């Protein structure tokens, strides 16, 4: 149920990401969850690979399989072992769950020239900030989330979204 609500809420932002990726691109979705972003992109990309550490989420994604999409249970910290080339990589609502060392190592090792990051920024509203912290308390990675928000995460060119607490960064990488 929670995933359904989050996907509904993030849909307008996922459409912004859709517009950033050209036709016939290959896309690696790191921390893909149930594959929502790749399914949205499937009509315009030549190939998409979604990886997530959650077997349950990958199983859910595979239920809707499309011919040009593949989903694997995979630890993003071992991304170098993929030995694949992609035009774009997406990290959507994922980086805040990693500790700083793993996040920095992952960002250095992603094998693409174009990286799109979608994640939290410091919330301008104190009430909204408290609500998000409360929600993340139950996520299993609260300490990483808290530390992530303390950092000045400026991954590249920032693109505003309808939600002032979520931002898209488009990064030229490698």
Provide the CATH number for the domain around residue 16.
3.40.50.150
Q: Is 90 exceeded by the pLDDT of residue 89?
A: yes
- Domain enclosing residue 133, as ranges: 2-172
The pLDDT, as a whole number, for residue 1 is 43
The pLDDT, as a whole number, for residue 83 is 80
**pTM for the structure as a whole:** 0.88
CA-to-CA dists, residue 117 to 13, 64, 137, 172, 173, angstroms: 11, 24, 22, 11, 12
Which one is predicted more confidently, 97 or 111? 97
Lowest mean per-residue pLDDT among 47-56, 96-105, 123-132, 144-153: 123-132
Q: Is 80 exceeded by the pLDDT of residue 47?
A: yes
Number of domain units in the chain: 1
């Amino acid at each position: 149920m929670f995933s359904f609500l989050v996907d509904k809420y993030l849909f307008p932002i996922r459409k912004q990401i859709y517009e950033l990726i050209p036709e016939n691109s290959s896309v690696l979705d790191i921390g893909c969850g149930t594959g929502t972003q790749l399914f949205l992109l499937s009509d315009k990309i030549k190939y998409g690979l979604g990886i997530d550490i959650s077997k349950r989420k990958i199983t859910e994604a595979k239920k809707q399989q499309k011919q040009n999409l593949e989903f694997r249970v995979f630890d993003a910290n071992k991304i170098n072992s993929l030995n694949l080339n992609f035009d774009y990589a997406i990290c959507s609502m994922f980086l805040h769950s990693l500790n700083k060392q793993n996040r920095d190592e992952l960002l250095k090792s992603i094998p693409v020239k174009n990286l799109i990051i979608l994640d939290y920024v410091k919330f301008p509203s104190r009430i909204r900030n408290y609500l998000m912290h409360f929600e993340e308390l139950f996520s299993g990675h609260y300490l990483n989330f808290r530390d992530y928000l303390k950092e000045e995460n400026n991954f590249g060119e920032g693109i505003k979204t309808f939600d002032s607490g979520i931002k898209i960064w488009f990064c030229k990488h490698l």
